């Protein structure tokens, strides 16, 4: 399912965060959303799942205008891995995954056995079936992200939005999570900080800076040494791995910033 942002403008407490962003995410692709802290990655994702209402422009998911629809209608199409998830909630893993069925419930069609079977199946798909009866606070960071991904899958989404899903994960769990998202075969937008990781796992990349889209396209077109220097203020060489053919960013030292730091 296609996701489209048109001329999206957001300011928070009077400060402009997104100043007219146009972005089209193609159906079925994995798009990496890159940019320094404060560039507007999370904010752009939030306008899609109705957490922040844009002051201008429109967001559409599969032709549905997100902001003239309902929270529930959007939740039937989009599932999200947010950064704000409470971790100390005394819920079992199965109960947590079942939360993903909420947007599909109505007063008449309430939770039932089908939901539970689906939840177990989703846990299976993220290799977390053995965690089914564990309580949420007892999980490690990697286990928690997998379980939250299972909850997102239980929403049976057409689009998956992931806000820095690899935070707090060690390298092997980062790779595992991203390859899992790839295997799911749904349209996915992932906000990421690690450029090499993004280049390895995403079909296309979109680079944000100061609330504007600087570049969008295949990794080798977006990640040029000039752009990385301009946007991040870091000198680097972009290499091609001799065996896998993937991009590798060899970072140099930080260079003196040529622009004002952004919050």
Which of 231-238's residues contact partners 24+ apart within 8 Å by CB, and which partners? 231/35, 231/36, 231/39, 231/207, 232/36, 233/257, 233/258, 233/259
Among 5, 33, 78, 97, binds other proteins (CB under 8 A): 78
Among 31, 49, 54, 159, binds other proteins (CB under 8 A): 49
Among 10, 61, 80, 177, binds other proteins (CB under 8 A): 80
Nearer to other proteins, 19 or 83 (CB): 83
Phi and psi (nearest 5°) for 30? Answer: -105, 115
Among 14, 63, 88, 172, binds other proteins (CB under 8 A): 88
Per CB under 8 A, 188 contacts other proteins: no
Show Cβ contacts of residue 9 under 8 Å, excluding neighbours closer than 6 positions: 16, 18, 19, 20, 54, 55, 56, 57
Among 72, 109, 130, 259, binds other proteins (CB under 8 A): 72
Q: Nearest Cα to 153, choosing from 95, 87, 73, 99?
A: 99
Nearer to other proteins, 108 or 253 (CB): 108
- Please give the torsion angle defined by the CA atoms of residues 2, 5, 6 and 10, in that order, rounded to the nearest 10 degrees: 170
Closest approach of other proteins to the CB of residue 102, in Å: 5
**Within a 10 A sphere around the Cβ of 158, how many other Cβ atoms?**
18
Per CB under 8 A, 71 contacts other proteins: yes
Per-residue string for binding with other proteins, 225-254, x by CB under 8 A?
Answer: ------------------------------
Per CB under 8 A, 76 contacts other proteins: yes
Q: Nearest Cα to 190, choosing from 152, 241, 137?
A: 152
- Tokens 């999980």 belong to residue: 139
Closest approach of other proteins to the CB of residue 259, in Å: 30
Question: Taking contact as CB under 8 A, which single stretch among the options 80-88, 122-130, 216-224, 234-242 is the one that binds other proteins?
Answer: 80-88
Question: Taking contact as CB under 8 A, which single stretch among the options 96-104, 119-127, 176-184, 226-234 is the one that binds other proteins?
Answer: 96-104
Per CB under 8 A, 103 contacts other proteins: yes
């Amino acid at each position: 399912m296609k996701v489209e942002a048109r001329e999206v403008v957001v300011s928070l407490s009077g400060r402009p965060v997104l100043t007219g962003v146009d972005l089209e995410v193609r159906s079925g692709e994995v798009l990496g959303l890159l940019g320094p802290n404060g560039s507007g990655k999370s904010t752009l994702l939030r306008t899609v799942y109705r957490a922040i209402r844009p002051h201008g422009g429109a967001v559409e998911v599969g032709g549905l205008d997100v902001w003239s629809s309902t929270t529930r209608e959007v939740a039937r199409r989009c599932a999200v891995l947010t950064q704000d998830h409470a971790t100390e909630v005394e819920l079992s893993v199965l109960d947590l995954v079942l939360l993903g069925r909420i947007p599909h419930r109505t007063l008449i069609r309430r939770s039932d056995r089908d939901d539970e079977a689906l939840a177990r199946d989703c846990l299976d798909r993220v290799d977390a079936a053995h965690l089914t009866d564990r309580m949420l606070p007892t999980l490690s960071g990697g286990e928690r992200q997998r379980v939250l991904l299972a909850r997102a899958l239980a929403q049976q989404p057409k689009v998956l939005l992931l806000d820095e899903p690899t935070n707090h994960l060690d390298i092997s769990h980062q790779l595992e999570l991203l390859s899992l998202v790839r295997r799911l075969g749904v349209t996915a937008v992932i906000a990421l900080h690690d450029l090499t990781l993004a280049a390895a796992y995403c079909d296309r990349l979109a680079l944000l800076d100061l609330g504007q889209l600087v570049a969008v396209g295949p990794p080798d077109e977006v990640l040029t040494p000039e752009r990385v220097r301009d946007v991040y203020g870091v000198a680097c060489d972009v290499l091609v791995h001799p065996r896998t053919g993937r991009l590798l960013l060899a970072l140099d030292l930080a260079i003196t910033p040529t622009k004002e730091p952004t919050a």
